[in-house]
């Protein structure tokens, strides 16, 4: 066979094998027998081994698994992979629906989808070719599992169009694959996987891609990364149809619903039919369909306001309360946790369950020695549902919360309006340890290598007393710690040194000011630009800032009034920790624009601009775009089908523009 014939054969085999694979793995409609497919694949492998120059980047042979990896690199997501808020009953869904209607009116529809119980993934394509794949991780940064994802047949290595795009979805293990895998592991005397989700996650985190290839994983794609409008798409349902066209596998059990009653009917149907599926689901995802309405609703730091996940009722089992453990958090709150006789719940062994607070313990009358029903709230957090009083042994005493801190023995107090008991000792070991762990966490100062164990070691050995002491650690003392080698010690010192240059918002979040989360820290840092300016800010200044309310403003004022806090800031300053905002900030002083310094709300459907484009242009001209109308709003831009926000703006006497006026002003 000459070179030309060889090239033609390789091209033909690539084309046919991809068509056969798509029909089998994505469409579930095989067009040839397994024997024919395998024979053709083995022939192609043999040719490629002899002629490596003929290997296509999207050849089906690339799915069998290549070299063993040395480890997983970190990948920062182009757009955050947010989690979803949860609903557990019809009332929760009605409240969600009410919030949507209050914000955008009644002219919208939902898309309901099965919530696949797997591992969230991000797939990046450039010019139609699969480039990288990553786990969700913490939502901002995931792990590069590209080589393992290449072995999943329902993930196309080349798209039907030469487009650059990000696809997001769920990688899962079908029930049959899970059963076969555990059967094989049992025969080899290996530990069994608890459930298909754990098996899928474990398979994707194998350093040997050949192991991942043998696990028969599958995917459902459920979203386009970033703005779908940039691809000419106007809704989520349009995006799913487009992903089908590109060659992805989406779940076709989805349904458009106009009302929350239709959503509930969909949920009831799949609650019944759930056992008949060939894969595991743990709930239903509900999304507002239109992209412009999604953008109008916006997101919190953690979750979009336009979507919610209904979680199926949790599996309930009976076990015994052996003891109650008390832990002290970074804000001094004492949290009780039930220690249980080990029991299997939703595929995992549970030995601890949250008791929340003293009021819950009294309300449910939970006592050490009781038989109790436990469940996993949202299939995640174990909790005690109720006590089986008919099984209570005689003589069990009611459980009493302590009067003094279990960590430092200081007196506990209960603040007015709160249910929690709180330790107010600023030198409490447990609080310092929790606070320091928060300070070094990924969304705060991001000091890699400082886990809870190392933090506790540093405190016990009195190498640190507060967060400022982290910046005085010495190599010679670090290597004396248990399990701390020279390389680990140096890496830790390098990470601590690098954290000094973080922008102000990371430090603010890391300080753990009550009610100030990551988003609020960013807003405060952008507004005041320096720690000194923020420390001297008045409540009047704070409450005028977009999204900073009375409660948060009072918390910030109270925090910085503390003399110990001010001394801590001074120590950080002398240790060269950055106290300034170094992110991008619009220089509004030099901008001559009608938008400069204005708080603006976009509502309704825009036809000439996407909502994202409009927001970016307004903010580049010094404006601030928010999702809700209030007395602080200066201007509302109303597109087609503008609803309740337009009505509220008119009631408050706020200036209203149409899109034509917006475009004209942006062009000036």
The annotation status of 185 as a binding-site residue, yes or no, is no
The annotation status of 171 as a binding-site residue, yes or no, is no
The annotation status of 428 as a binding-site residue, yes or no, is yes
The annotation status of 112 as a binding-site residue, yes or no, is no
Contact 509, 523 (CB under 8 A): no
The annotation status of 621 as a binding-site residue, yes or no, is no
The annotation status of 311 as a binding-site residue, yes or no, is yes
**Could you tell me whether strands 218-224 and 165-172 are parallel, antiparallel, or unpaired per DSSP bridges?**
antiparallel
* Burial class of residue 188, CB neighbours in 10 A (0-12, 13-18, 19+): exposed
Using alpha carbons, select from 227, 239, 224, 125 the residue that is nearest to residue 167: 224
Distance of CA 373 to the CA centre of its chain: 30
The annotation status of 84 as a binding-site residue, yes or no, is yes
- Give dist(CA 231, CA 11) in Å, integer: 30
| SS3 labels along 164-196 | CEEEEEEEECCHHHHHHHHHHHHHCCCCCCCCH
- Give dist(CA 347, CA 333) in Å, integer: 31
The annotation status of 170 as a binding-site residue, yes or no, is yes
CB-CB neighbours of 350 under 10 Å: 18
Catalytic amino acids? 115
Measure Cα distances from 199 to 150, 211, 231, 278 in Å.
Answer: 17, 12, 35, 15
Contacts with 496 (C-beta within 8 Å, 6 or more apart), sequence order = 447, 450, 470, 471, 473
Distance of CA 483 to the CA centre of its chain: 31
Instruction: Give the pair of three-digit tokens for residue 197.
Output: 């989700």
Q: Dmax over Cα atoms in the chain, in whole Å? A: 91
What are residue 170's DSSP bridge partners?
Answer: 120, 220
CA contacts within 13 A on the Cβ side of 618: 24
CB-CB neighbours of 39 under 10 Å: 12
Contacts with 605 (C-beta within 8 Å, 6 or more apart), sequence order = 290, 292, 293, 639, 640, 641
Contacts with 359 (C-beta within 8 Å, 6 or more apart), sequence order = 419
Using alpha carbons, select from 314, 313, 279 the residue that is nearest to residue 119: 279
- Give dist(CA 302, CA 650) in Å, integer: 31
The annotation status of 38 as a binding-site residue, yes or no, is yes
The annotation status of 408 as a binding-site residue, yes or no, is yes
Using alpha carbons, select from 190, 178, 186 the residue that is nearest to residue 215: 178
The dihedral through the CA atoms of 588, 589, 591, 594 has a sign that is positive
CA contacts within 13 A on the Cβ side of 422: 12
- Give dist(CA 668, CA 660) in Å, integer: 13
The annotation status of 545 as a binding-site residue, yes or no, is no
- Please give the annotated binding residues for NAD(+), written as ranges: 34-38, 83-84, 113, 136, 170, 287, 311
Binding-site residue ranges for Zn(2+): 405, 408, 423, 428
Residues forming the annotated binding site?
A: 34-38, 83-84, 113, 136, 170, 287, 311, 405, 408, 423, 428
């Amino acid at each position: 066979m000459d070179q030309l014939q060889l090239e033609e054969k390789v091209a033909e085999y690539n084309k046919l094998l991809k068509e056969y694979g798509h029909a089998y793995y994505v469409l579930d409609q095989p067009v040839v027998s397994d024997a024919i497919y395998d024979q053709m694949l083995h022939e192609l492998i043999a040719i490629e081994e002899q002629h490596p120059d003929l290997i296509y980047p999207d050849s089906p042979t690339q799915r069998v698994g290549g070299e063993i990896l040395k480890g997983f690199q970190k990948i920062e997501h182009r757009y955050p992979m947010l989690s979803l808020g949860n609903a557990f009953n019809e009332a929760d869904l009605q409240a969600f629906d009410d919030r949507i209607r209050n914000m955008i009116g009644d002219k919208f529809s939902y898309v309901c989808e099965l919530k696949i119980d797997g591992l969230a993934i991000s797939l990046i394509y450039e010019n139609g070719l699969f480039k990288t794949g990553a786990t969700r991780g913490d939502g901002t940064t995931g792990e590069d599992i590209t080589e393992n994802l290449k072995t999943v047949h329902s993930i196309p290595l080349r798209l039907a169009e030469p487009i650059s795009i990000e696809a997001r979805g769920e990688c899962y293990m079908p029930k049959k694959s899970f059963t076969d895998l555990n059967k094989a592991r049992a025969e080899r005397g290996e530990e069994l996987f608890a459930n298909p989700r754990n098996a899928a996650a474990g398979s994707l985190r194998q350093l040997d891609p050949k192991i991942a290839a043998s696990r028969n994983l599958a995917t459902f794609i459920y979203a386009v990364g970033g703005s779908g409008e940039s691809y000419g798409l106007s809704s989520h349902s349009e995006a799913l149809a487009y992903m089908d066209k590109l060659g992805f596998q989406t779940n076709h059990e989805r349904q458009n619903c106009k009302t929350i009653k239709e959503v509930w009917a969909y949920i009831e149907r799949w609650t019944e039919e759930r056992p008949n599926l060939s894969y595991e689901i743990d709930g239903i995802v509900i999304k507002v369909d239109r992209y412009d309405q999604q953008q109008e609703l916006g997101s919190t730091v953690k979750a979009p306001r336009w979507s919610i996940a209904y979680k199926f009722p949790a599996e309930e089992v009976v076990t015994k309360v052996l003891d109650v453990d008390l832990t002290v958090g970074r804000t001094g709150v004492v949290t009780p946790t039930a220690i249980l006789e080990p029991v299997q719940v939703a595929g995992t062994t549970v030995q601890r369950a949250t008791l929340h607070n003293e009021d819950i313990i009294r309300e449910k009358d939970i006592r050490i020695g009781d038989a109790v029903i436990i469940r996993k709230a949202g299939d995640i957090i174990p909790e005690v549902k109720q006590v089986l009083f008919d099984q209570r042994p005689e003589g069990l005493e009611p459980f009493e919360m302590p009067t003094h801190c279990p960590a430092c023995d200081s007196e506990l107090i209960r603040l007015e309006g709160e249910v929690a008991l709180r330790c107010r000792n600023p030198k409490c070991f447990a609080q310092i340890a929790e606070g320091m762990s928060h300070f070094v966490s990924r969304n705060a100062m991001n000091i890699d290598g400082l886990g809870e164990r190392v933090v506790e070691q540093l405190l016990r050995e009195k190498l640190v007393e507060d967060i400022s002491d982290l910046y005085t650690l010495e190599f010679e003392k670090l290597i004396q710690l248990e399990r701390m080698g020279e390389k680990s010690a140096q890496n830790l010192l390098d990470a601590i040194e690098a954290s000094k240059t973080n922008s102000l918002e990371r430090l603010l979040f890391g300080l753990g000011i009550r009610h100030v989360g990551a988003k609020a820290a960013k807003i405060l840092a952008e507004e005041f630009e320096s720690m000194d300016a923020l420390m001297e800010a008045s409540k009047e200044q704070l409450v005028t800032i977009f999204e900073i309310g009375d409660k948060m403003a009072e918390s910030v004022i109270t925090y910085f009034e503390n003399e110990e806090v001010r001394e801590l800031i001074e120590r950080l300053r002398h240790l060269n920790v950055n106290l300034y905002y170094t992110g991008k900030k619009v220089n509004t002083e030099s901008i001559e624009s009608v938008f400069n310094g204005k708080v603006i709300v976009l509502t309704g459907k825009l036809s000439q601009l996407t909502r994202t484009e409009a927001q970016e242009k307004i903010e580049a001209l010094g404006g601030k775009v928010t999702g809700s109308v209030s007395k602080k709003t200066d201007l509302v831009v109303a597109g087609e089908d503008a609803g309740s926000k337009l009505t509220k703006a008119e009631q408050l006497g706020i200036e209203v523009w149409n899109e034509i006026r917006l475009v004209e002003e942006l062009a000036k």
